[in-house]
Amino acid sequence: MRAVVVPEPGDADALTLAERPDPVPAPHDVRIRVAAAGLNGADLSQRRGFYPSPPGAPEWPGLEVSGTVDAVGDDVTEWRVGDRVCALLPGGGYAELVTVDAGLVLPVPDGVDLVEAAGLPEVAATVWSNVFVLGRLGAGEALLVHGGSSGIGTMAIQLGRALGADVIATAGSDDKVDFCREVGAQAGVNYRTDDFVEAALDFTDGRGVDVVLDIVGGSYIARDLEALATGGRIVSIAVRDRQPAALDLGLLMRKRGSIHATTLRARPLAERVAIIAAVRENVWPLLAEGRVRPVIDSVFPLEDAAAAHRRMESSAHRGKILLRVG
């Protein structure tokens, strides 16, 4: 099979198309003939040499795919050859074939294109497990989404609104703020020109937001806390600002707030399987009803993976970037 590998860490041109042996499914695995793979920030970090695949996973990038079931292990009963599926992976998605534990596989939702479905598993699992499980966002509460025009951001905005929350999003340009509104945010703020703390307080009539989805870290954490309501929750899922976060513990205590910092890829298999089951139960019906949709920026051929990475690094994208494989 063909796969996009990284012989040596580096810039986007380090991505190389190569031949690799076809994977063989273990007893509880499903093998998927890949139609498309989704790009994620973790892929860029892996390419640069900072985020290697966990033990047992392929060494090349790719955390989510869509396609058709090609083979199943002896212990698999739910999935059959020919099923249209998408899946959350620990790595290896930039390839023509992948194997994955059957518990990490999802049906392609009704009404969703097979290629576009590649942009769903990672963002849906990340947003559900962080915003709704750890963050406990409920109907009538306020959610602040950083990076609202990203793949994660567009899913968080849509899920928040679909489940009855009020949503304000940050983005890096006025055009992107407008895009966040088109996706469903009720308010937006250009973080390059305006203060998101002030905007969040205005949005909530001074009360503050109940949940912050933070993809920046560093200096943002202290400002997230300023924007937080009493009893609010900050969920931190990425670190783009490498400076250490300075935290006013006194303010955190006075607000009776909490901060959760997590990753998805490194969780034990049982935890990831439980998250996928929850996503199927809670998010997939919203997709089938058309209340939530994959937001796709662009689709590149597998052999143009370097161009796809450059598109993501430019921060010009809105929604998910995909690699078409099949």
Ranges of each domain in the chain:
2-120+265-324, 124-261
Task: Note whether 196 and 227 are within 8 A (CB).
Answer: yes
For the cut 80, the answer to whether the pLDDT of residue 77 exceeds it is: yes
Task: Encode pLDDT of 105-119 as tens digits.
Answer: 999 999 999 999 999
pLDDT score recorded for residue 218: 78
**What pTM was estimated for this model as a whole?**
0.95
Task: Encode pLDDT of 17-46 as tens digits.
Answer: 999 999 999 999 999 999 999 999 999 999
- Pairwise pLDDT comparison (219 vs 146), residue with the higher score: 146
Q: Do domains 2-120+265-324 and 124-261 have the same CATH topology?
A: no
For the cut 90, the answer to whether the pLDDT of residue 219 exceeds it is: no
pLDDT score recorded for residue 7: 96
**Least confident span in 76-80, 138-142, 161-165, 248-252:** 248-252
Q: What is the CATH number of domain 2-120+265-324?
A: 3.90.180.10
Average pLDDT of span 260-286: 95
pLDDT band at 240 (very low <50, low <70, confident <90, very high): confident
For the cut 90, the answer to whether the pLDDT of residue 62 exceeds it is: yes
For the cut 80, the answer to whether the pLDDT of residue 243 exceeds it is: no
The superfamily (CATH) of domain 124-261 is NAD(P)-binding Rossmann-like Domain (3.40.50.720)
